[in-house]
Structure 1
Amino acid sequence: MTELVLPRAGLAGMLRSEWTKLRTVRSTMWSLVAMAGIAIGLMSLFAWALMQQWSTADDGSHSYFTQHPLEIVIARPVFIAQLVIAVLGVMVISAEYTTGMIRSTLQAQPRRLTVLTAKILVFASLMLVVGEVLAFAAFFLGRAIIAEHIPVSLGDPGVARSVAGAGLFMAVLGLFSLAFGAIIRHTAGAITGVLGLILIVSPLTALLPGSWGAHINAWMPTNAGQLIFEPTLSPDALLTQWQGLAVFGGWTVLLLAVAAYLFKTRDA
């Protein structure tokens, strides 16, 4: 009697599996819709309110926003969106530990690094597409609102790179958060860690004294990454825009390497 030998599931099969899990979980789609709606909605409200008060605003405000139009149409939407991205990135993997589904996943595919690689590739692809769509949608909508008083175009120096870079920043942030989820494996703990780093620790490093404090602040993951959507930098900036994104990417690769080691060696 011939024994039936089933083919081993490979990366292609895991990619399909992870994409199915990601798109069929309603919280994922609703999170993305909420991220886009809230980020663009609040940006539009702020831009509209600013234009309504433009005639009564002081010269300092006129000068600042005229010189930094992307502060309105890119920086603010990304600031809001990053909170949702961080939560979503953590939950991509931590939710499986919470529900116990990770055991079923690893029974179906014992090669753990294949499982983690599939999660990383699928989520990175999703966040890259969503990030770029959100960044360009925010730019064009915001530009239409502020055009009467603050002209800005993709053809302006550094603007196209800044808008595209905002989408890249969101994709890297998603992987950064996924790594936190894989390392900590507890949803609340990982979300607290990521948001604490983004919203509390990174800004507080600006208070550190001396040149060493300036270097620590510049090399913090999200501080460095956010340089990518700045059209121009001051002459004394420690990193260029692409160097900043590379630093953020380096932190993310390091965390993913730690996550891969722990994912392979720890019990599910």
Structure 2
Amino acid sequence: MSDYSVLPRAGLPGMLRSEWTKLRTVRSTVWSIVAMAGIAIGLMSVIAWSIMRQWDSAGASDHDYLARHPLEIVLARPVFIAQLVIAVLGVMVISAEYTTGMVRSTLQAQPRRLTVLTAKILVFAALMLVVGEALAFGGFFLGRAIIAEHIPVSLGDPGVTRSVIGAGLYIAMLGLFALAFGAIVRHTAGAITGVLGLILIVSQLTQLLPGSWGAHVNAWMPTNAGRLIFEPTLPAGALLTQWQGFAVFSGWTALLLAVAAYLFKTRDA
């Protein structure tokens, strides 16, 4: 009879390989990333091209604004579009396993639940960081080529390199933020609704809150704070710097991941 006691105990390295295999072989992951890049960069290119076509008919105030905010065209808009796909993908990375029941098979193979969740977080974070930086730099260089005739911009300009790198960091952090939502809610439609509602509606509505406390609530909302990382300059009176804003977003994400880890460990699969 075989002596199973001498077999090595399954650990994090094995789970990392397993989660990477699952992530890269699921068609929705690949197609979501392709769609995200195609739509974000493609739409940015069309918008930038249209703006340049109308350059001669635009007023001096428009010229001045675009010259002072070139990353609004080549970086902020692609990220705004990409974040919607990233939020959906982050939720589905874990909620889809609950929908299909695959999570039970995973936990039978590896009963240590925190090891499973840690592997899922690390693999997805690494993928989103690579995809996010590729999207940020790709969008920047393509957009720069389109607007170069009228609006010169380079990585050497103040704050530009940090903004491009920061856009990739924001995408990766948003992916983890959405993953945490998916792990907490465990229902794909509900978690997606929650994440997109926070990004598109709640974060914007906080601008309507009165007084200084309203300004602080708005500034400390997760994605409002996180987006500062790809702003080359800040308006006068900003409550957070770029890195402080990203730290706030990271703190919100860490809090949600801690809640998700607790629930993942204590709830029935």
TM category (shorter chain) comes to over 0.9
Q: TM-score, normalised by structure 1?
A: 0.99
Q: Distance in 2 between matches of 1:2 and 1:40?
A: 56
Q: TM-score, normalised by structure 2?
A: 0.99
**1:38 and 2:39 are equivalent in the alignment:** yes
Taking the aligned partners of 1:234 and 1:99, their CA distance within structure 2 comes to 47
Matched with 1:54 is: 55
2:17 matched residue in structure 1: 16
Give, as a single letter, the amino acid of the residue that structure 2 aligns with 1:92.
Answer: V
Number of the residue aligned with 1:195: 196
Partner in structure 1 of residue 120 of structure 2: 119
Confirm whether residue 244 of structure 1 aligns to residue 242 of structure 2: no
Distance (whole Å) between structure 1 residues aligned to residue 230 and residue 48 of structure 2: 18
Aligned counterpart, 2:66? 65
Same amino acid, percent of matched pairs: 83
Over residues 54-80 of structure 1, what are the superposed CA-to-partner deviations in whole Å (9 max), with x where a residue is unaligned? 000122211111100000000000000
| Distance in structure 1 (CA, Å) of the matches to 2:2 and 2:99 | 41
Secondary structure (helix, strand or coil) at the match of 2:131 reads: helix
Partner of 2:4: 4
Report the alpha carbon displacement of residue 7 of structure 1 after superposing the two structures with TM: 2.3
CA deviation map 1:14-69 (0-9, x unaligned): 00000000000011001000000000000000000000000001222111111000
Aligned counterparts, 1:76-155, within 5 A: 76-155=77-156
Tell me the SS of whatever aligns to 2:4: coil
User: Match for residue 256 of structure 1?
Assistant: 257
Listed one character per residue, the Cα deviations across residues 152-176 of structure 1 (whole Å, up to 9, x for unaligned) are: 0100000000000000000000000
CA distance in 1, matches of 2:31, 2:254: 28
CA distance in 2, matches of 1:248, 1:62: 33
The Cα shift of 1:2 comes to 5.6
2:64 partner letter: S
Could you tell me how far apart the structure 2 residues matched to 1:2 and 1:153 are?
64
- Cα distance between partner residues in 2 of 1:262 and 1:4: 31
- Following the alignment from structure 1 to structure 2, what is the Cα–Cα distance between the partners of residues 39 and 233? 24
CA distance in 1, matches of 2:249, 2:2: 54
User: For 2:36 and 2:2, how far apart are their aligned partners in 1?
Assistant: 54
Q: Is 1:224 the equivalent of 2:218?
A: no
Q: State the alpha-carbon separation in 2 of the partners of residues 179 and 60 from structure 1.
A: 43
C-alpha displacement of 1:4: 3.0
Length, aligned pairs only: 268
Amino acid at match of 1:143: R
- Cα deviation 1:116-172 (Å, max 9, x = unaligned): 000000000000000000000000000000000011010000000000000000000
Q: CA deviation at 1:204?
A: 0.6
Aligned partners of 2:25, 2:2: CA distance in 1, in Å? 38
- Aligned letter for 1:210? G
In structure 1, C-alpha distance between the alignment counterparts of 2:129 and 2:70, rounded to whole Å: 23
Query: 5+ residue gaps in structure 2?
Result: none
Amino acid at match of 1:215: H
